[in-house]
Copies of this chain bind each other. A is one copy, B any other.
Amino acid sequence: MQGQSDNNSLRRQQQRRILADAFLKMLPADAVIFREEELVPYECDGLSAYRQVPLIVLLPYDTGQVQAILRYCHTNKIPVVARGAGTGLSGGALPHEDGVLLSLARLNKILEVDQSNMRARVQPGVRNMAISDAARSQGLYYAPDPSSQIACSIGGNVAENAGGVHCLKYGLTVNNLLEVTLITIEGERITLGGGGLDSPGLDLLALMTGSEGMLGVVVEVLVKLLPIPTKAQVILATFDEVEAAGNAVAAIIANGIIPAGLELMDNLSLRAAEAFIHAGYPVEAAAILLCELDGSEEEVAVSVKFVCSILKQSGASEVRISKDDTERQRFWAGRKAAFPAVGRISPDYYCMDGTIPRKQLAMVLKKIAEMSQRYDLRCANVFHAGDGNLHPLILYDANIPGELEKAEKFGGEILELCVAVGGTITGEHGVGLEKINQMCAQFPDAELEIFHAVKAAFDPHNLLNPGKAIPTLSRCAEFGAMHVHAGQLRFPELERF
């Protein structure tokens, strides 16, 4: 075994050298990283439980260099993993051990902010927040706002179809794109979409969005911009029962209100956030709802009044309205810092991301509470309630043997429950490597075969981010034997869904 490991290491060193020589001929020296110690920072993305040093990291300066890299990889059948800012939470940018890690960090120019057509043309390495910063002086902004928006890149947002607290009203990344230019594995430049309402032919722009780097490498993005709302206010509603908060969410939506954001935090998460940020949350509450309304001064006044009355009818024990923008920001600060806040009360946590139909909210929260007891692990619930996107945070201690495995099992059970009630295994974080087994629970073989066929239409040799997002049928067969049947048996009472 030792001899084999040495052989592998030697083989990798040789491969690395060959690649470095080849790429140094087509790229500037500082665009090719191949020394082991310099490769380590790229060994994982935001899902740090999985780590893999790539053969080589490339940091091209322009689209022509991206084309040259992909042509070489295509000719020589070398796997390529594209990476934006590396903030992804599902391991989508985890390097391939025998492949190139292609960072788009240097394609970071905002090419145009077009005020009259309300759009911006940007390179993939531009940070999400930088687009809104650049558009602000013209009264515009880019709506999707993942929690990582200060750091995450628009290219990564396209790859994962990122959402955020405002996606209930303004949509996910896919709803805010007009056009994407990508380089195919053959090195060809292709433009998808095109700025119109509906693009003729097949909707490849939507197909590309959320495809996790498996169809092509994004080198330019045309995004929609929206006028910055004149006014925004947040209502903070306190509930003595989580179920009542869930029902209030349904009541708001059923009354035809689409808030700019509608978030639920349970007691464990709001306590953690309050201790960390001092947002002014009521620490005795079973749950709080944060409901943001935006628009013109008068529209917001009308909607705030209406939503407050719905919240009270739904059993809110207290309703507070942000009195100015400072207070509004403070109400959100607790929510936006909920993940690090939970990090303070537990050595480790495992962030889940599933969706369920809104009406299942109360039932699913009850089942998660039961699982929490059964696994003897705490679980904080923070989520985009308006669109049924759960983010349970499972608290564990990686230093206690077996706790990580227990947390993963707990998480897997939550996702299987999401599927069983008619939801999905990911709301906005993507499948990546983390949820590839759960894809087998989500999709029958026939659907997975179509995924593979479509992937092959773009990338017949499976070189672009191989092993992510779409499980092979044999992987599912293996996983199915272990989990899925058991998973189905776990929720026999839900078979009617």
Report the separation of the CA atoms of residues A188 and B453 in the bound assembly, to the nearest whole angstrom. 15
Interface residues on A, range: 35 or more
CB-CB nearest in chain B for A193: B424
> Contact partner of A204 among B296, B426, B451, CB < 8 A?
B451
Q: Does A465 contact B (CB under 8 A)?
A: no
Give the shortest distance, in Å, between A450 (CB) and chain B (any CB). 7
The interface-forming segment of A127-135, A253-261, A273-281 is: A253-261
The interface-forming segment of A11-19, A22-30, A223-231, A480-488 is: A223-231
Report the separation of the CA atoms of residues A244 and B425 in the bound assembly, to the nearest whole angstrom. 50
Give the shortest distance, in Å, between A451 (CB) and chain B (any CB). 5
Decide if B207 touches A202 in the complex (CB within 8 Å): yes
Q: Does A1 contact B (CB under 8 A)?
A: no
Q: Which of A181-206 contact B (CB under 8 A)?
A: 184, 188-192, 194-204, 206
Contacts A204-B450, A207-B207 given; does A197 touch B428 at CB 8 Å? yes
Residues of B within 8 A of A215 (CB): 202
> Contact partner of A163 among B197, B206, B254, B388, CB < 8 A?
B197
Q: Does A469 contact B (CB under 8 A)?
A: yes
Q: Does A340 contact B (CB under 8 A)?
A: no
Report the separation of the CA atoms of residues A358 and B224 in the bound assembly, to the nearest whole angstrom. 13
> Contact partner of A201 among B189, B199, B469, CB < 8 A?
B469
Decide if A295 touches B256 in the complex (CB within 8 Å): yes
Decide if A431 touches B201 in the complex (CB within 8 Å): yes
The interface-forming segment of A70-78, A101-109, A401-409, A440-448 is: A440-448
Decide if B204 touches A209 in the complex (CB within 8 Å): no
Residues of B within 8 A of A428 (CB): 197-198
